[in-house]
Structure 1
Amino acid sequence: MSQITYPRERTALLLVDPYNDFLSEGGMVFPRIKPIADEVGLLDNLRQLDGAVRAAGIQVVIVPHRRWEPGDYEDWDHPNPTQRLIMQRHSFARGEWGGEWHPDLAPKPGDLIAQEHWGQSGFANTNLDFLLEQKGVTHVIVVGLLANTCIESTARFAMELGYHVTLVRDATAAFSHDMMHAAHELNGPTYAHSILTTKEAIAALPAASHSKETVK
């Protein structure tokens, strides 16, 4: 693994879809990711990484999926398979518990919240790129759910826009080992600048910040 550093003022953690439906017991989608999530220590790793980037003074950006509302996708010409499932199961429903933030990963003062994405990329048809540009961000660390859908699509789009992209293999999950393997061993190396573990990512962060000084 090549040595990598994350400039404090030019790095952001993109936390994708930290909803109860994905991350909490009783969540609508949680049973499907639970085996992989438990195996990789997903929640503990997300908590540790979230705390470490905040201690380092790095910007946190919440990148949320569209919260389902009655009528969503129903008159679309060709909703994709995931959108059809959302129509059926009403996952991430606005105003319901499943569409609320997991309590340990809810936005905090100073965080940015991008517009909700309708598909899989957090950049497509949202203001995410604009928000990052306004903060001077050049490096993004992409974590959350799911490894082979919204994480991969968001991270690929970030690469296309010129960002330095890091994936964190144990700060995400998917429905199967094959999906995780594809995300990190087959597809990730074609676009990500770095694929790390949570421990490696935290070790590469700048030292805890008690000021707004930029680390070069």
Structure 2
Amino acid sequence: MKKACLLIIDVQKGFEDAGFWGVRNNPNAEVNMLTLIDAFRNTNLPVFHVQHQSENENAPLHPTKLGYQLKAGFEPKENEPLFIKSVNSAFIGTTLKDELDKQGIHQLIVVGLTTNHCVSTTVRIAANYGYGVSLVQDATAAFAVTSYNGRKFSAQDVHESALSHLHEEFAEILSTEEVLAKWVKSSHYIQ
């Protein structure tokens, strides 16, 4: 079995600003993410963290804002790398790929925010680089959007659409329970 890591993308306080982002789906996403973090840590599987650093001074994820901080419980442990990015992909402008290759990791278990932006972009590039990707559908979330033509899409529709575009082309779409069964509780995992 390939060596896997949990990749946690942009779980930051700024995403709690409903006035800026709007309505979100999947309110239990963070609970599921924390379940996976605990499981990976308890079995000594690698955990990687990504944090978005907005260049827009008015954005909630700008480093001068409280929203830039990772949410409680999502802070990296001493041996867990943190990659700071300023674009949608966790691979651009970071050493993520170098660290994955150095540790011999071939499979990414991806969780985080938001499904249709940084999660999707990172998943696509990871797949293009040749990594296997498992995207955890109940450990990600999206916000409602208004399209170029004024059409409104609910947060759940945005989330489902993003997952559908990634499914079977860039990633396998799994639930938290499926990830636990396949990657964490697996007795044939080789470190």
Q: TM above 0.5, one fold?
A: yes
184, 188, 192: which one aligns with 2:163: 184
Instruction: Give the structure with the higher percent helix.
Output: 1
Residue of structure 1 in register with 2:190 after alignment: 215
Cα distance per residue 1:26-57 (max 9 Å; x no partner): x335874664132xx11210111111111121
Would you say 1:20 and 2:7 are equivalent positions?
no
Residue of structure 1 in register with 2:122 after alignment: 154
Cα distance in 1 between the residues matched to 2:10 and 2:105: 20
Cα distance in 2 between the residues matched to 1:167 and 1:102: 20
Number of aligned pairs? 180
93, 96, 102: which one aligns with 1:134: 102
Residue of structure 1 in register with 2:66 after alignment: 97
Letter in 2 for 1:180: H
Cα distance in 1 between the residues matched to 2:104 and 2:72: 29
Instruction: Give the structure with the higher percent strand.
Output: 2
Letter in 2 for 1:197: S
Residue of structure 1 in register with 2:148 after alignment: none
Check the 8 A contact 1:57/1:208 in 2, yes or no.
no
- Partner-residue secondary structure (3-state), 1:14: strand
Provide structure 1 residue ranges, at least 5 long, that are not aligned to the other structure.
Answer: 73-85
Q: TM-score, with normalisation over the residues of structure 1? A: 0.75
Q: TM-score, with normalisation over the residues of structure 2? A: 0.84
Runs of 4+ in 1 over 6 A off after TM superposition: none
Provide structure 2 residue ranges, at least 5 long, that are not aligned to the other structure.
Answer: 144-154
Cα distance in 1 between the residues matched to 2:72 and 2:31: 13
Check the 8 A contact 2:51/2:70 in 1, yes or no.
no
Change (3 A) 1:94 1:32: closer
Percentage of matched positions with identical amino acids: 28
RMSD of aligned C-alpha atoms?
Answer: 2.4
Letter in 2 for 1:174: A
